[in-house]
Amino acid sequence: MDQAVPSGSPLPRPNAGPVELRISPAPVPYPEAIAFMEARVKAIRAGEAPECIWFLEHPPLYTAGTSAKAADLLAPERFPVFATGRGGEYTYHGPGQRVAYVMLDLNRPDWCGGGPDVRRFVQNLEEWLIRTLARLGVTGERRAGRIGIWVAHDGREDKIAALGIRVRHWITFHGIALNVDPALEHFTGIVPCGIAAHGVTSLRALGRETTMAEADEALRAAFTDVFGVTLDDRT
């Protein structure tokens, strides 16, 4: 998690309108996604665009968060590597992984249960993932000292979902990533999130034949469960 907010009190900018849901049918290049998020954060702050959740997949790539260590990039030639402003370390994105980018104004009480609270917001993102997994028949859990959502199975613990955000002027971007059916071998090119002692799993690897559409429906329903806000589908 990376908090980049101005000093002083939050701006009096209550935002209680609909939240736009974008769903991209084809993989989105990473630079294109970053450009969109940067522009949308600016527009939300100016009151020119609604808050937005963006469901997408990326082509195969690695991203390095603000805490990434060079030694954790084990196969630098395998895929493009992008330095990014989100919190966290290295992660893999690719087809079969549902990424949800969250461009939300933390001045809105729905996201943190009151005033802007980045830590509370991250906890709510974790809860969103946990409730999504529950709807798909999987028990996801937090682990102290480990970012992400974890699944205990077959005598071990593996990460099934990651999260990393940035906050600018109290507006969030970047977000979460849920492993539906990505190529898990691609995670061997990095030390995922800097944690070498545990592996990575997916819904498919756990025996769940979940389609991306089913994962999206679970994400949408769980979002409403956690935040009390219905996503406005404008695909």
112 is catalytic: no
Q: How far apart are CA 140 and CA 136, in angstroms?
A: 10
Of 192, 160, 163, 167, nearest in space to 175 by CA: 163
Q: How far apart are CA 166 and CA 173, in angstroms?
A: 5
Of 33, 53, 130, 193, the active-site residue reads 193
Q: How far apart are CA 187 and CA 145, in angstroms?
A: 20
Q: Please, what's the largest Cα pairwise distance for the chain?
A: 51
Q: Which amino acid is located at 192 in the chain?
A: P
Report the chain's C-alpha Rg in angstroms: 17
List the beta bridge partners of residue 172.
Answer: 167
- Residues near 106 by beta carbon (within 8 Å), at least 6 away in sequence: 10, 112, 116, 117, 118, 121, 167, 170, 171, 172
CB of 223 closer than 8 Å to CB of 231: yes
- Just list the catalytic residues: 193
